Amino acid sequence: MSRDPLTRPSHPLEPDTPPAPAVPPFDLAYDAVLAKWPPGTTTATVPTPYGTTHVIGHGPAGAPPVLLLAGGGATATGWYGTAAALGGTHRVHAVDLVGEAGRSVADPRRPLRTAADLVGWLDALLHGLGIPDTRPVGLAGHSYGAWIALQYALAAPGRVDRLVLLDPTNCFTGFAPRFLLRALPVLLRPTPARGTALLDWETRGATLDPDWRRLHGLATAFPAVRPVNGPRPTGDRLGTLKPPALVLLAARTRVHDPYAVERWARAAVPGVETAILPDATHFTLPVAAPPDTHARIARHLAG
C-alpha cells in the first residue's frame, strides 16, 4: 500500500510540547530592576499572620539589620542604590509591602486594617527574619513607607535603633492640594499610563532609570488591597519618639511643602536631624537621589 510522502506519520506517544506560559509584564519589569542590585543579593518569602512578605536581602548575614520600606505603589526593588551603600556594614532587608505592588501576598482572611496591624505585621516579619527582640534594627522608609516606619518606631521604640524618613508623607503635614488633584485620576481608575503621567509630572520630566520607570507604571494597576491610612501623629506623640531620626526632604517635591515639613519635624521631634535635598523630587527618591544621599543614610544608621 502506498503512502503520501508529504504526510507525516502520527506519534501518539510523543505529544506536542505545550508552549511555556508567558511571563507577566510586571514580573519581567520587576526582575529587570532586581537585577540592578549588587552581587550577593538574595530573596526570601517570610510568612506572617497577614500574608507572605517578599524580602530582598543584601549584606553580611551577621551585620546590624536594616529594614527598608518602599512607598505606596512602589516595590522593594527601588532601594538598590541604598543597599549598595549599606551592604558593607549592614544586613539590608528591603520589603514589598503586603497588599501593595510587588511579590508579597496579603491573606484575605486577615487584612491589614489599622496602624496596630502594621505594627503586628512588622513584629512578625522581624521574627520571621530571625532577628531577636533584643536586637534593635535600623528602619528607613520612603513616602508611605516612612509613615509606616514612624508608626512602628513610636509603637515599638525598643525594636528600632535608628530611623530614616525619606520625603515622608502624612507624618508631619498633609498633602499639597495640587498633588491630590493630579493624583485623583490615578486613584479613581489606576492604569499604567495614568501612573506614568503622574510620575513624569511630579519629577518634572527628570531622566529616570527606564526599567524602574516601566515598573512604576505597571505597579499603578497592580491588584492591591486598600492601604492602611490613619491620622498624622500629634505633636505630643512625636515628642516621645526615642530612636535618633533623620528626615530627608526633596527640595522640588510636588507632594507637599518640604520646608513646612522640616519646620514641623524640628519643632516636634527632639534632636531630629533634617536636610533638604537639592534637585530631588518625591518620586526621584530613592532611585535617583542626589549624590551622597545613600551615604548620608548609611552614616546615620551606623551611628
Structure confidence by residue, pLDDT tens digits, 263-291 = 999 999 999 999 999 999 999 999 999 99
> Could you please report the per-residue DSSP string of 51-119?
EEEEEEEES-TTSPEEEEEPPTT--GGGGHHHHHHHTTTSEEEEEPPTTSSSS-EE-TTS---SHHHHH
**Count of residues for the chain?**
303
| Nearest alpha-carbon partner for 143 in 238, 231, 71 | 71
Where does the pLDDT of residue 15 fall: very low under 50, low under 70, confident under 90, or very high at 90 and above? low
Collapsed DSSP state (helix, strand, coil) of residue 50: coil
How much is the pLDDT for 17?
A: 65
Provide the CB-side half-sphere exposure for 92 (13 A, CA). 31
Average pLDDT estimate for 135-140: 97
Residues 214-270: tens digit of each pLDDT: 999 999 998 777 788 888 999 999 999 999 999 999 999 999 999 999 999 999 999
Average pLDDT estimate for 18-36: 90
C-alpha 90/C-alpha 58 separation (Å) is: 8
Please check whether residue 83 is in contact with residue 89, taking contact to mean a CB–CB distance below 8 angstroms: no
- Give the residue carrying C-alpha cell 512602628: 152
Average pLDDT estimate for 97-118: 94
How much is the pLDDT for 144?
A: 97
Q: What is the CA radius of gyration of the chain?
A: 22
Average pLDDT estimate for 2-11: 45
Chain centroid to Cα 46, Å, comes to 16
**Predicted confidence (pLDDT) at residue 2 exceeds the cutoff of 60:** no
Q: Judging by DSSP bridges, how do beta strands 65-69 and 51-58 pair with one another? A: unpaired
